[in-house]
Amino acid sequence: MTAITSTITRELIDQSMDYAQYRILIDQLLLENKTTGNNHSAAMMDYTRINVQRMKRWDKTSKVSEEAVALVKKLERKQIWLVLTEAWCGDAAQNISYIEKLAAFNEKVKVRYILRDENLAVMDEFLTNGGRSIPKLIALDEKTLDVLFTWGPRPQPLQEMMLAFKEDPQGVSTEEFKKTIHLWYAKDKNQTLDSEFKVLLTQ
């Protein structure tokens, strides 16, 4: 996949955050009883606090397979992995620690973060089934900003579960379904995500 996008500019990349800056931003907002975006409701605050704990846990426990390490080390051209995210997004919290660890095995790969709701023009170029689903990773050639591949918003088995739930909840509440999603992540331990990136890195 090689495509040029008009919305991702050098200026946008320069204004993006690294992982440490993203985490600091979230912590600072929480001190002000805020989260990213415009909705600072109690529920969104709760989601954000839980996500901080999730990221802390995955920062310690997420593992990259030897096969994925070997593949990312083979990358010869410099890449920017631009991630659209928000602090309150549970799927983002469950996946970005792995992405950070994978990219760290090759100094030619830099992960950068931008907030979805501040960058809707970018988001609208990378919709999932017509929706502004996040996280969304856009892998770019560092020199040309050509799009090399995309990933997101969640591992494919979960995406299929989400689509099935939206089509027919079968009496399951949204909160119950969210618990099912996060239980899946806990059991999977990023293994499916690892497998998906092994495929992406060989394209």
Does residue 130 carry a pLDDT above 90? yes
pLDDT tier at 123 (50, 70, 90 boundaries)?
very high
Q: What is the pLDDT of residue 7?
A: 92
Give residue-wise pLDDT tens across range 59-109: 999 999 999 999 999 999 999 999 999 999 999 999 999 999 999 999 999
Q: What is the pLDDT of residue 3?
A: 62
Q: What is the pLDDT of residue 29?
A: 98
Q: What is the pLDDT of residue 6?
A: 77
The alpha-carbon radius of gyration of the chain (Å, integer) is: 17
Give residue-wise pLDDT tens across range 14-32: 999 999 999 999 999 999 9
Average pLDDT of span 31-52: 97
Q: Where are the alpha helices (DSSP H) in the chain?
A: 10-15, 19-31, 42-61, 66-73, 90-103, 120-123, 156-167, 174-188, 191-200
pLDDT tier at 2 (50, 70, 90 boundaries)?
low
Q: Mean pLDDT for the chain?
A: 96
Domains and CATH numbers, the chain: 3-200 (3.40.30.10)
Give residue-wise pLDDT tens across range 137-186: 999 999 999 999 999 999 999 999 999 999 999 999 999 999 999 999 99
Give 166's Cβ-side CA count (13 Å radius).
8
Q: Strand, coil or helix: what is 113?
A: strand
Task: Give the largest CA-CA distance in the chain.
Answer: 50
Does residue 188 carry a pLDDT above 90? yes
Q: Are 134 and 94 within 8 A, CB to CB? A: no
Rounded Cα–Cα distance for residues 33 and 17 (Å): 21
pLDDT tier at 1 (50, 70, 90 boundaries)?
low
> In terms of DSSP bridges, do strands 109-115 and 79-85 run parallel, antiparallel, or are they unpaired?
parallel
Q: Are 43 and 141 within 8 A, CB to CB? A: no
Q: Report the range of poorest mean pLDDT among 2-16, 34-48, 115-129, 138-152.
A: 2-16
Average pLDDT of span 122-127: 97
Does residue 4 carry a pLDDT above 80? no
pLDDT tier at 121 (50, 70, 90 boundaries)?
very high
